[in-house]
Structure 1
Amino acid sequence: MGKVLSVVLRPLREYNLENRAHKVISKDKPTLAPKHKIDPQYQQFLDEYPKVDQSKNETLNKFLQDVYVTSQDPMPQVSSESSSTKRSLPLNREIPVESEFGFREPTNVPYGRATLKSALKFISAYQTNPEENSIKKIVNDYKLKEETLVNILKYYRVFEIYIPSDPASKSSFAGPLIPRKKLVTRKPKQLTGDKSENENNKLV
């Protein structure tokens, strides 16, 4: 509905538009915008002291007229010492070698932390020989918390590879180094009652 009204009223709005625009532009002094209402206290102050609004400080006005700001970018000063001691570009332009695990490992490792490489190392060492590589020894060597190390060794394992001695022979899975527990299935025992109770149940 609004679009229909705008289409209908558009010729009325644009009637003699160019002449009206020239009439407004050709005015010597344009009409001023309406001023805000003055605060009554401020109006009372102006009535009592009419010279305050018109007075100017001549010294400050002169300072403002004398002020002239120019902006210039300073040229960089290059000393002879900095140019002589300028470091040369590296001559080695070879592509850096990729790390073992796809990212660069830190050189300084804080206490209580371990890199991926060291974690795989002590996990595999504990997995192969837990008696020789005990938890206390690993804690002392890698400066880890005992609780954290116990959780790591409990939930993380290293993959085990089995390669047959004879390539032509069929390989058989030898099983893990650490024996796993076997699940034994047993049939549940049936409840046995008195013969008289069994007979009564049959009759019912």
Structure 2
Amino acid sequence: MGARVVRMFRNFNLENRAHREVSKAKPTPAPRHATPTNITEPAQEVTAAIHKKNEPLLSLLKSVYVESTDPVAKPTTAVAKAKEEVERRPLKFSLPGDPYGICDITDVPKGKLSLVEALTALNSHKRSPDSWTAEKLAEEYSLDLKDTLALLEFFIPFDVKIIPPKEEGVNQIKDS
């Protein structure tokens, strides 16, 4: 009901008010800034300077000689493939069964870890950091020491923290 009253006051005499606004005198625009009359002279000077030949620069440009060759591509021969095979190491740990098809992997490149090996190494280091140091893990898994230190610092396996409930007035579900 209130919207009808508001609309009625808003639309009251709308046409007359619109005509009154349209018939008002328009404000005069501000005067334009005076521009110089000989504006083409500097532009002509600039274009003449651009198109003028500069003999010393031209002679320096002519003395430059560039020679380029494509880099020689490394041939992929049987020797290179054999070298790649030598740089692989067998897996130390794998998952039992065939979850997600990752048990098909039998070896990994040196300097890399499988997910199971990474979790095993991190768990070993977490349980006994004195015996499983970064140097020993790097040697055991053929890793770079810098990568091993980064792995131990930034990759943290899941930590389960059990927070005991408050004793006062807490109802718990008990096993039957």
Measured against the shorter chain, the TM-score band is 0.3 to 0.5
Normalising by structure 1, we get a TM-score of: 0.30
More helix by share: 2
Normalising by structure 2, we get a TM-score of: 0.35
